[in-house]
Structure 1
Amino acid sequence: MKIYTKTGDKGTTSLIYGERVAKHDIRVEAYGTCDEANSAIGVALSLLPDKPFVKSEETLTIFHKIQTILFHVGAELATPVGKEVKWQVKQEDVEDLEKTMDEWNEDLPQLTTFILPGGSSAGAQLHLARTIVRRAERVATSIGTDVNPIVLQYLNRLSDFLFVAARYLNHKLGAIEKTLHEDVEN
């Protein structure tokens, strides 16, 4: 099977069910940004050390599920209004993120100030993924009322989750989180 179709050569692409839209359509921007975030998460996971850490298999399983659901978020955003959604994000998906965040947060040092994105390579990449998810959320809200509210809730919670996940991986990998520099004046 060939990967290229040549159908997008003139600046259009298909939504689910075949409706053609411009490649700059807000729906394409929304699901494309979800795809970008998913790729950033994949890069973060590829940067994990070969040596397992405590709960590393469980962590990878959680991320596999998140990447799958993020793919489903993109599919919902790529489904035209009035068409059946093949993969629907559910409230329990949001609740799973919350549960994992609460569990992982228990292992982390309490935040007393802002931290800068960074730490381990994997942690830094998750911070980048977090900002991409925030952008996906902003773009998805631009679509308007035609977006499943749970999709917006999931994106919002996912960005929170990725913040906690970056801290969690940095902690598990022994990476230091840097705080704001005290000598910088406002």
Structure 2
Amino acid sequence: MVKLNKIYTRTGDDGTTGLVDGSRVAKSSAIMAAIGNVDEANSLIGVAAVHAEGHLRAQLTTIQNDMFDLGADIATPSGIEGALRIVQSQIDRLESEIDAWNAGLHPLTSFVLPGGSALAAALHVARAETRRAERALVAADVNAAPRAYINRLSDWLFTAARVANGNGADDILWVPGQSR
């Protein structure tokens, strides 16, 4: 269990931060950029959850917990015994939920513009930030499981946005060249 008695420590005032194993890295490092992007994506998932209800809100809360697991995984150097890592069952759960939703969605006939309902718009913003986090994970050369999880999560968020838009009926579709 995590116990935080003091919020500030002053240890980062020199521009470094601690990893799980106690080592210190520059706050400007690729690994810290990845952790920061994951945190930003998680915050935007929280914004989406404010607009969600019932089962979808619970799913988003589960994902927020997964995102903390993901951050711990990234912040733990390889070779640490018993480290908290993203596992295949977390990725499989996202895929299963995407597959279940897709069965009831209107087929896509064009690309979807981010928007529609407030919930769908928030999910699209979270998806865009999740894609940024994915690029940061690749740049930081992290393990395969966190990369797979974050990649699947962006697909999950896209699909959830379509569900929030009346199972795709209220999606706003791209019309190529519409404003020419």
Residues 16-55 of structure 1 mapped to structure 2, 5 A cutoff: 16-48=20-52
Q: What amino acid maps onto 2:150 in structure 1?
A: L
* Separation (CA, whole Å) in 2 of partners of 1:175 and 1:71: 33
Question: What is residue 161 of structure 2 aligned with on the other side?
Answer: 166
Q: TM-score, normalised by structure 1?
A: 0.86
Contact persistence 1:30–1:139 (CA under 8 A): yes
Which of 106, 109, 128 matches 2:103? Answer: 106
Query: Number of aligned pairs?
Result: 175
| Runs of 4+ with deviation above 4 angstroms | none
Contact persistence 1:120–1:175 (CA under 8 A): no
Contact persistence 1:19–1:80 (CA under 8 A): no
Contact persistence 1:119–1:175 (CA under 8 A): no
* Separation (CA, whole Å) in 2 of partners of 1:162 and 1:85: 30
Q: Please give the per-residue CA displacement for 1:102-161, whole angstroms capped at 9, x wherever unaligned.
A: 1112222111111100111121111111111111111111122xx221111111111101
- Listed as ranges, the gaps of 5+ residues in structure 1 are 49-55
Contact persistence 2:45–2:126 (CA under 8 A): yes
* Separation (CA, whole Å) in 1 of partners of 2:146 and 2:41: 15
Structure 1 residue 90 corresponds to structure 2 residue 84: no
Identity %: 45
Contact persistence 1:76–1:85 (CA under 8 A): no
Residues 61-72 of structure 1 mapped to structure 2, 5 A cutoff: 61-72=58-69
Structure 1 residue 176 corresponds to structure 2 residue 180: no
* Separation (CA, whole Å) in 2 of partners of 1:175 and 1:95: 27
**Aligned-pair CA distance for 1:60:** 2.0
- Listed as ranges, the gaps of 5+ residues in structure 2 are none
* Separation (CA, whole Å) in 2 of partners of 1:58 and 1:97: 14
Q: TM-score, normalised by structure 2?
A: 0.89
Other structure's SS at 1:171 match: coil
* Separation (CA, whole Å) in 2 of partners of 1:12 and 1:129: 28
